[in-house]
């Protein structure tokens, strides 16, 4: 199958592309290779993908409509997996504008060209952060999502909304996937596991927000990749209405929202303890208040995804941390 993956030099996009290539698909990657974090990491991921003969690549910002249209029209994708975005909650306090450009204008361009080319399934990244200050745990797709805490979360919520409208008017089949704190080899340097590991190894203090009183549904990258893979052929269709309990399928459009998470609570302090254990070294701790824009807890309910695809997350946080650290120690020598 011909598949475009946006954000292919990013953490999740790299793993998704690699898996698709390994199973014989043709993949065209799109990425701006921006310097939000260490560009060498993006270059290293891209050079691995470049080794596959079925991989091609366009370096462009997705907000550049002309470039996006050109790449898409040339490749003619059947499926589009849209993962390019400006991620990160903290940076969205410093630079909100970047989020509007990448996540709103950029995503608009991707949906628009997917409509023009009659793409059979557009899968787009949303985030657990759209659940914002919701108190009801675990988070379910049909829960209200009215209280985004950051600009980042707000752009993801707008993507869901814009996607639904497109799906309604032009019948573009769209699945929005809400990822829950993804981690693993080749991960993102601005995220907790990476920062904790680096801090501990360099004898630097690590910042622990809300004095450690928070938990996350940490989801190992392979489980995310498997969730996306299983979804490719599960194109939403209003004929499926009534088929699944608590379905988030739109009653009027081929549009559905799905959580992809591990469905387990992991307290931040237990997460840190495990990193210390594997590294054989104690962290110097800097307890801090909750960061602006951040949430204290996330936990997914993935029953709907399980019913639709038989998704079954396999990696617990201890195994996942070990795999990340094996990669980290080797990569950074």
Question: Per CB under 6 A, does 33 bind ligand NAD?
Answer: yes
Structure tokens at 200: 């501990």
Three-point CA angle 233, 25, 174, nearest 5°? 35
Structure tokens at 298: 């996330």
Whether 44 contacts 66, CB under 8 Å: no
The active-site residue, picked from 37, 99, 131, 152, is 152
Among 3, 4, 12, 295, binds ligand NAD (CB under 6 A): 12
Structure tokens at 166: 């497109």
Shortest spacing between CB 87 and ligand NAD, in angstroms: 4
Question: Per CB under 6 A, does 131 bind ligand NAD?
Answer: no
Shortest spacing between CB 280 and ligand NAD, in angstroms: 27
Q: Which of residues 184-213 bind ligand NAD (CB under 6 A)?
A: 188
Q: Which stretch binds ligand NAD (CB under 6 A): 77-85, 135-143, 276-284, 296-304?
A: 77-85
- Counting Cα atoms < 13 Å in the Cβ hemisphere of 145 gives 25
152 is a catalytic site residue? yes
Cβ neighbors of 165 (< 8 A, separation 6 or more) are none
Question: Per CB under 6 A, does 84 bind ligand NAD?
Answer: yes
Hey, which residues does 206 pair with through a beta bridge?
A: 285
Shortest spacing between CB 106 and ligand NAD, in angstroms: 5
Rg over alpha carbons for the chain, rounded to the nearest Å, is 19
Q: For the purposes of burial, counting CB atoms within 10 Å of the CB of 133, is it exposed (0-12), middle (13-18) or buried (19 or more)?
A: exposed
Give the count of residues interacting with ligand NAD (CB under 6 A).
27
Among 158, 181, 298, 301, binds ligand NAD (CB under 6 A): 181
Task: Provide the Cα torsion 312, 317, 89, 32; round to 10°.
Answer: -70
Q: Which stretch binds ligand NAD (CB under 6 A): 84-92, 133-141, 168-176, 313-321?
A: 84-92
Residues known to be catalytic: 152
Binding residues vs ligand NAD (CB under 6 A)? 7, 9-13, 31-34, 42, 61-63, 83-87, 102, 106, 125, 127, 179, 181-182, 188
């Amino acid at each position: 199958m011909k598949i475009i993956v946006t954000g292919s030099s990013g953490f999740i996009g790299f793993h998704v592309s690699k898996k698709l290539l390994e199973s014989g698909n043709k993949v065209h990657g799109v990425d701006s290779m921006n310097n939000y974090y260490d560009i060498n990491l993006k270059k290293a991921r891209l050079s691995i993908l470049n080794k596959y003969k079925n991989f091609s690549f366009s370096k462009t910002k997705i907000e550049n409509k002309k470039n996006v249209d050109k790449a898409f029209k040339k490749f003619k994708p059947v499926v589009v997996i849209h993962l390019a975005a400006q991620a990160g909650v903290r940076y969205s306090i410093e630079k909100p504008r970047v989020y509007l450009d990448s996540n709103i204008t950029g995503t608009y361009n991707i949906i628009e060209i997917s409509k023009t080319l009659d793409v059979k399934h557009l899968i787009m990244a949303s985030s657990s952060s759209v659940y914002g200050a919701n108190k009801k745990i675990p988070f379910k797709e049909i829960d209200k999502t009215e209280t985004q805490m950051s600009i980042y979360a707000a752009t993801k919520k707008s993507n869901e909304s814009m996607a639904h409208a497109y799906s309604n008017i032009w019948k573009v089949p769209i699945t929005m996937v809400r990822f829950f704190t993804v981690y693993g080899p080749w991960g993102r340097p601005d995220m907790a596991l990476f920062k904790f590991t680096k801090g501990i190894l360099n004898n630097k203090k690590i910042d622990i927000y809300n004095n450690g009183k928070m938990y996350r549904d940490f989801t190992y990258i392979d489980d995310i990749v498997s969730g996306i893979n299983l979804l490719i052929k599960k194109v939403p269709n209003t004929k499926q209405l009534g088929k699944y309990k608590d379905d988030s399928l739109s009653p009027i459009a081929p549009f559905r929202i799905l959580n992809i998470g591990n469905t387990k609570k992991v307290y931040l302090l237990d997460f840190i303890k495990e990193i210390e254990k594997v590294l054989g070294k104690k962290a110097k701790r800097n307890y801090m208040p909750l960061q602006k824009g951040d949430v204290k807890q996330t936990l997914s309910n993935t029953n709907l995804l399980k019913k639709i695809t038989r998704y079954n997350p396999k990696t617990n946080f201890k195994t996942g941390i070990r795999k990340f650290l094996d990669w980290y120690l080797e990569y950074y020598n």
